[in-house]
Amino acid sequence: MRMALELAELGRGFVSPNPMVGAVIVKGKRVVGVGYHRRYGEEHAEVRAIRDAGDSARGATMYVTLEPHNFHGHQPPCTEAILEAGIARVVVGALDPNPKVRGGGVRRLREAGVEVVVGVLEEEVRRQNEIFFTFHERGRPFVALKLALTADGRIADRWGRSRWITSEAARERVHLMRSYHDAILVGAGTVRADDPLLTVRHVFTERQPLRVVLSRSGKLPCDARVFGGDAPTLLLSVREPECRPEGVEIIPFSGAFAEALEILRERGITSVLVEGGREVATTLLTEGPLDRIHLFIAPKFLGGDFGPLAKALPVGEALKFSVESAEVVGEDVLMELVADG
């Protein structure tokens, strides 16, 4: 199953809104076939592994990270491919979280006489596909917040400038993070202060995420870079925008982040990477929903009071997260924080 997880990881950034899935077929003590879901719309992991195994699939065991689907979508049911190949035993990492199909694949295989084991390395499978599980179990996009801080906890200098707090290596990692998400979101303040392009660069990608800008006042520069380029842009504004850039979709909204998420969910957006600014970060940190924080810490000191939170909290009410990992990226440290519970 660990091999199947490693295979599944190869699809990261290419399969959304589908999950990453890996499959390994074993006969005796020998691996006879492997496969993974390479990109959205293409063959699923199980089918690729069966083709790789050929006749050796008959009577073998398949290890697959996620429950094989039992319905006709962009691809025919994987359960039928498994049955036609004569697979005798299927070991599943986790059931599909989609309530419309959950358990259907396992049930179909068992009814056909295939031995099925469920729940092997389930937590690892769920963590790998946290976006997919959040979207289907919680009914909303997965929300990640990217923060870049100095060692003394500042996100900008006293004039509101943040370019560049982190090193070039850290900024390249952010481009990789962008490629993994369906949408990139910022507040109007970030557009005015930094004029970001918010596209994926420096790494290979087959698509550009939707760029989302939240504005209360509607005051945005008409020539902002986020309104140009090849990537699509959605502007959610409380007040009528002062300008309506060509090609930019504009939707009025109340200003509530939950409403913005619902608008994105209705469009099939499964994940959002929030890159600022301070007002949006404060909303996420104090009100949520927030699933993960990518926290870059640069070995620099700026002083002042421009921290990521616009409001002060007593120590007893401090916001708590769990540290999943920490690594050095270029000159900086990247901490992965996950929400408790």
Residue numbers annotated as active site: 46
pTM: 0.91
Examine the pLDDT at 311 and tell me if it is beyond 70: no
Contact 114, 83 (CB under 8 A): yes
* Average pLDDT value for the chain: 91
- Summarize pLDDT for 1-33 with one digit per residue, the tens: 999 999 999 999 999 999 999 999 999 999 999
Contact 254, 215 (CB under 8 A): no
Look up the CATH number of domain 2-134. 3.40.140.10
Q: What is the pLDDT of residue 252?
A: 95
Average pLDDT rounded to a whole number, residues 267-289: 89
Length of the chain: 341
Distance CA 58, CA 253 (A): 56
Q: What is the pLDDT of residue 156?
A: 74
Q: What is the DSSP letter of 101?
A: T
Sheet holding 183-187, edge to edge: 249-252, 233-237, 210-215, 183-187, 271-274, 142-150, 292-298, 332-339, 321-329
Domain 2-134 identical in fold to domain 140-339 = no
Q: Classify residue 85 as exposed, middle or buried by CB count within 10 Å of its CB (0-12, 13-18, 19+).
A: buried
- Summarize pLDDT for 177-198 with one digit per residue, the tens: 999 999 999 999 889 888 899 9
Average pLDDT rounded to a whole number, residues 306-315: 71
Q: What is the pLDDT of residue 159?
A: 65
Examine the pLDDT at 37 and tell me if it is beyond 90: yes
Q: What is the pLDDT of residue 160?
A: 67
Examine the pLDDT at 36 and tell me if it is beyond 90: yes
Q: Give the residue with greater pLDDT, 291 vs 314.
A: 291
Q: What is the pLDDT of residue 165?
A: 82
Examine the pLDDT at 139 and tell me if it is beyond 80: yes
For the chain, what is the radius of gyration of the CA atoms? 22
- Summarize pLDDT for 73-113 with one digit per residue, the tens: 667 889 999 999 999 999 999 999 988 889 999 999 999 99
**Which segments within 141-287 are labelled E, that is strand?**
142-150, 183-187, 210-215, 233-237, 249-252, 271-274
The residue extents of the domains of the chain are: 2-134, 140-339
Q: Could you say which architecture CATH assigns to the domain 140-339?
A: 3-Layer(aba) Sandwich (3.40)
Q: What is the pLDDT of residue 152?
A: 85
- Summarize pLDDT for 207-261 with one digit per residue, the tens: 999 999 999 999 999 899 999 888 999 999 999 998 888 889 999 999 999 999 9
Placement of tokens 């707090």 in the chain: 165
Placement of tokens 């719309």 in the chain: 41
Distances in whole angstroms, Cα of residue 206 to Cα of each of 16, 41, 115, 124, 146:
11, 13, 38, 26, 22
